[in-house]
Structure 1
Amino acid sequence: MTPEALDRLRAEASRADYASMARLARALYENGLGPREVLRECYDTAFPEEFFVVLDAGPWELDLLASFTNQPWQLALPLDLGGPDATPDTLASTELRLLARDPDLMPLMVIPGAEAGQEDLIVCYRISELRADRPTAFCLRGVTGSGEAVHCGESMLTVLYDEHADALRLLDEEFREPSNRGAGSVDGSQVEQANESLERVRELQRQAAARQGD
């Protein structure tokens, strides 16, 4: 791709138009850039090491509680892994609502509420924080993202760990209840599965810490 054509894609790219961002990311990969450089080009900031630890593990294959957003995750997929999808999934509407309200927010994932009746949790970075080299996590409750984003953890993985720990605790408490009998009850395999998910998050944290120390 010619430099002029690439410059046109840069000028056309907008976070409010996923397809334009995917086109730019693909062109950057075709020009030899890697995921870190592509994200820096697309969002004008570096992303923290924890992001790439999750990316390398395959966010959609991790079998965690979280549903991962289109941006920035899809744009971080190099061509040898299929590259960014041409069209976004159903989380795109949530991403657009948050972008319209607060362009500094970068939604990363949606985690179901751990307790009955609790709204889903939207976990985000802030671009201003990333530019200051801080992976601070900010959260909102509810898929509409109608509330204010509040500081909820030192990093994305910190929040992910806390949410999985809460889910395991609630399942274990229900499993141990004398009334936990019959249809709809919690069995031991569910508790074990939740424990395995928590351990996967612990391993991601260990990997991120090791990379930061290199």
Structure 2
Amino acid sequence: MFHKEGAKIIFIAMAITVAVILLSEEFIQSYWLLKFIQIFSLVFLILILQFFRNPKRPVNATDTTIIAPVDGKVVVIEEVYEPEYFKDKRLQVSIFMSPINVHVTRYAVNGLVKFSKYHPGKYLVAWHPKASEENERTTVVIENRTFGEILYRQIAGALARRIVNYAREGMHVVQGTDAGFIKFGSRVDIFLPVGTPVDVKLNQKAIGGKTIIARRA
């Protein structure tokens, strides 16, 4: 399965690949150059297809867990000041996505969307300390019955040029369902109440919709 946000790009990539293969057969005489161009075109198409893949991951939605919203590596677990919505200290957990990761964003919790805002901005590398405040990003807050208000932030990276966010204020969302997409490399920050017990460790691989970030009985 491929994500709907990739439909246009996949179509263009397929058209380019087919055109390159057919035209190279017509105009390139060197056997090795011909094969190199054709193989390069196919690899290009495969990379586009794998980037927009959308694996189905059934989730047993519950109010007692917070799950990873994206695939990637846990790069931050620390108390920070959150200046946009809470304006106080929160526990930040950040997951960095490389271009080879699945880039679907999934809702980390069940609940009511209390806040959703898009911010245009820069395209610093996603692990840059100021990326969370200066890069193109979206901020979403979901009120959950167990954890209270949970904020997550989709952040564009150096390669990402479009963030897709489906959350709208007033929506009731279900844990594990499709919350959006970030195209070509990025990061997601999650802000939890201070003192929330966290189940992940730094540099741990996270799987969106599967890995439990935090839980409460």
Identify the TM-score tier after normalising by the shorter chain. Answer: under 0.3
Q: Please identify which structure carries the higher strand content.
A: 2
TM-score (norm: length of structure 2) = 0.25
Larger radius of gyration: 2
User: Which has the higher relative contact order, 1 or 2, with Cα contacts under 8 A spaced 6 or more apart?
Assistant: 2
TM-score of the two chains, using structure 1 as the length reference: 0.25
